Chains A and B, each alone.
Chain A
């Protein structure tokens, strides 16, 4: 009996020592990936620094113009890359209230779109004639979205109020009709676990839903009406990251954001990642992973330095330029391939 107690004590002590050693050697802030990143073949050389009057919460680039929306100031700005001037396009306080849950620009019609989930409306602004308008989605509850590349429809993340399930839908707002393109497989939690953002590339007519908390990026090819997935290299599976609250669910404090921002061109998807690879000095939010939108495979990465001690928050791609927003500063990089 005495011998058994001694052996058991050694086992318990050994296990505790191993866990203690692991805790002392651990790195709780690091979200690790299992593959080494490939830093060859692509370079981002700084070209310009653009300072907006306020922190930019959404941006779009088109031609020689960069549009930045400062939600704190409720103003939409336009920066001309040719003559380096910044203009205020509109103060949205007169027609937009609540939290901005999506921002888009259609260069064909010259229309800006501001999505507001509080009112379930998309607010439109035409700078040419200063016309303001809004579209009300009375038949469904949307959480985020953007305009489709080809049609006048919207590609949105909608929540079914009856089941609390979340889907990606293509919505013809004028007819009040919608098509479900993809339903998130995890948890009827009102879309909290499936939170993310939208980006698109007009030239390839591809749109992307980038989840904050997992690796499954949903790619929608409007031309082929096809949904496919791009799995980011951290390979984090979709999971339930909510906890019960008084009236429903709230995001768990243990949830980890993996994908922060993204941008796309005709063949590539650029994802600003919070994950680090083993043995590398990759502080969270400094590495952009590049994926092929044709094969869905990871290709390479590029690392950006902290800008004045701040982390990158937004990405945008236009021509051979990559725009990276750090609060109210936007760094313009020229992308070069080897």
Chain B
């Protein structure tokens, strides 16, 4: 499979994931805020900043992944977010008693160990995308739309 094709598939997969995750949170925004307020890790942070901040970063990642010029940055932002979510969930799952996961839809219903593995997989895919974008001779010829 050509490198460009892999990059395109990765950017689509991550875009779908972030659109789905951000939309699911936005549709139940009050519950999302409540989950953040309940989180033992985020209890001392201002949820009025954290909640819109997460949504903003997720939607920004989707936008960055749509353009050739910002594709690499999009993959890096995606790597950062997915790594954060993986570490956040793993820390709560392994070391804390209260695990308020804010993910909506299907992601909110899957067991936590599966959720962690799922996040880890997409973290690796995001880093893979960023590394593949760095090969100058193999950059996609057309913008990913």
B130 in contact (CB, < 8 A): yes
Q: A217 to chain B: closest CB distance in Å? A: 17
Per DSSP, are chain B's interface residues mostly helix, strand or loop, or mixed? helix
Contact of A18 with B134 in the complex, beta carbons under 8 Å = no
- Residues of A near B97 (CB, < 8 A) are 28, 253-256
Contact of B88 with A235 in the complex, beta carbons under 8 Å = no
B96 in contact (CB, < 8 A): yes
Instruction: A19 to B130: give the CA distance in the assembly, Å.
Output: 23
Q: Which of A1-50 contact B (CB under 8 A)?
A: 1, 3-4, 7-8, 11-12, 14-16, 18-19, 22-23, 25-28, 30-34
A31 closest partner in B (C-beta): B98
- Residues of A near B80 (CB, < 8 A) are 11, 14-15
Contact of A31 with B99 in the complex, beta carbons under 8 Å = no
Contact of B43 with A23 in the complex, beta carbons under 8 Å = no
B76 in contact (CB, < 8 A): yes
Contact of A26 with B98 in the complex, beta carbons under 8 Å = no
Chain A 252-285, CB-CB to B under 8 Å as 1, else 0, gives: 0111100000000000000000000010000000
Contact of B41 with A23 in the complex, beta carbons under 8 Å = yes
Instruction: A278 to B42: give the CA distance in the assembly, Å.
Output: 11
A234 in contact (CB, < 8 A): yes
Instruction: A179 to B76: give the CA distance in the assembly, Å.
Output: 58
Contact of A4 with B130 in the complex, beta carbons under 8 Å = yes
Instruction: A255 to B33: give the CA distance in the assembly, Å.
Output: 21
Contact of B130 with A8 in the complex, beta carbons under 8 Å = yes
- Residues of A near B76 (CB, < 8 A) are 7-8, 11
Binding site for A on B (CB under 8 A): 31, 33-34, 37-45, 47, 76, 79-80, 83-84, 87-88, 91, 95-99, 127, 130-131, 134
Q: 9 A-B contacts, Cβ less than 8 Å apart?
A: A1-B134, A8-B127, A19-B87, A22-B41, A27-B44, A28-B96, A30-B40, A30-B43, A255-B97
